[in-house]
């Protein structure tokens, strides 16, 4: 994330250690950097009010906010370029708002970049309409961007069968797994060696890479 209190230090650590980094777009949480432009804060506030007003806010295109979305998006991309010295080749979003209607309809995400798909769920975890909506989003995104085959969150860790099913998919497909180590259970799972014990010989990528992103569509 950029324009946050610790964004400068995080970028410096990433560059010093060669850590792979993409841009985590933020349209909903107030920017906390002391030098964040007042105009950017104002545009983000309007965008956030629309997206968070009700549960379907992200699915509704708001023509009156088209310029605000573009303004907030472009400023974050430029700040990433300033901090990391390059254009972001991988994009996702806080609360997954990079897949909201205003972003997709305006085609703000540059063609050819790696973009996080909508969250994947096992058949028993979500209703039919929810899964159909996510399938539609993924189809739209995959037309212009490189995406993983599946995207899951690490939690919940119970029941164990859920993670085993996800790890099994990793034997045949590219699976992106999101984790938040600030969560105590996830931190212990990742640092205790439990994750390595469960995945067995399934390879873990050293950086974010998709075969199609290397060879082209």
List pLDDT tens digits, range 98-146: 999 999 999 999 999 999 999 998 777 788 888 889 999 999 999 999 9
Phi-psi region at 216: left, alpha or beta (left = phi > 0; alpha = psi -120 to 50) = left
What integer pLDDT is reported at residue 164 of this predicted model? 93
Calculate mean pLDDT across residues 41-61.
Answer: 96
**Collapsed DSSP state (helix, strand, coil) of residue 1:** coil
Q: Is the pLDDT of residue 215 over 70?
A: no
- From residue 189, how far is each of 107, 159, 170, 176, 185 by CA, in Å? 38, 14, 18, 17, 6
- In order, the DSSP letters of 133-192 are HHHHHHHHHHTTSB--SEEEES----SHHHHHHHHHHTTTS-EEEE--TTSHHHHHHHHS
Least confident window among 121-135, 171-185, 187-201: 121-135
Average pLDDT of every residue of the chain: 92
Q: Is the pLDDT of residue 213 over 60?
A: no
| 20, 22, 13, 199 alpha-carbon torsion, rounded to 10° | -50
Alpha-carbon span 108 to 104, nearest angstrom: 7
pTM comes to 0.91
- Per-residue pLDDT of 11-40, as tens digits, reads 999 999 999 999 999 999 999 999 999 999
What is the percentage of the chain residues whose pLDDT exceeds 90? 82
Least confident window among 79-93, 158-172, 203-217: 203-217
Q: What is the crossing angle of helices 7-17 and 66-84, to 10°?
A: 50
Backbone phi, psi, residue 200, to 5°:
65, -125
Q: Is the pLDDT of residue 217 over 50?
A: no
Who contacts 74 (Cβ-Cβ below 8 Å, separation ≥6)? Answer: none
The structural domains of the chain, with segments of one domain joined by +, span 1-110, 117-217
């Amino acid at each position: 994330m950029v324009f946050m209190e610790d964004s400068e230090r995080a970028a410096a650590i990433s560059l010093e250690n060669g850590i792979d980094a993409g841009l985590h777009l933020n349209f909903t949480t107030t920017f906390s950097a002391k030098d964040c432009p007042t105009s950017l804060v104002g545009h983000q506030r309007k965008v956030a009010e629309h997206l968070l007003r009700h549960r379907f806010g992200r699915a509704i295109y708001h023509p009156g906010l088209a310029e605000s979305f573009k303004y907030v998006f472009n400023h974050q991309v430029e700040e990433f370029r300033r901090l990391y010295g390059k254009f972001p080749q991988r994009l996702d979003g806080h609360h997954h708002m990079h897949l909201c209607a205003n972003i997709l309809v305006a085609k703000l995400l540059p063609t050819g970049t790696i973009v996080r798909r909508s969250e994947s769920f096992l058949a028993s975890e979500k209703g039919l309409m929810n899964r159909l909506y996510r399938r539609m989003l993924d189809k739209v995104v995959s037309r212009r961007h490189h995406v993983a085959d599946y995207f899951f969150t690490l939690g919940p860790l119970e029941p164990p069968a859920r993670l085993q099913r996800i790890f099994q998919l990793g034997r045949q497909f590219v699976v992106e797994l999101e984790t938040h180590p600030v969560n105590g259970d996830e931190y212990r799972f990742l640092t205790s060696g439990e994750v390595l014990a469960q995945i067995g010989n399934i390879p873990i990528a050293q950086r974010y890479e998709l075969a199609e992103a290397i060879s082209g569509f």
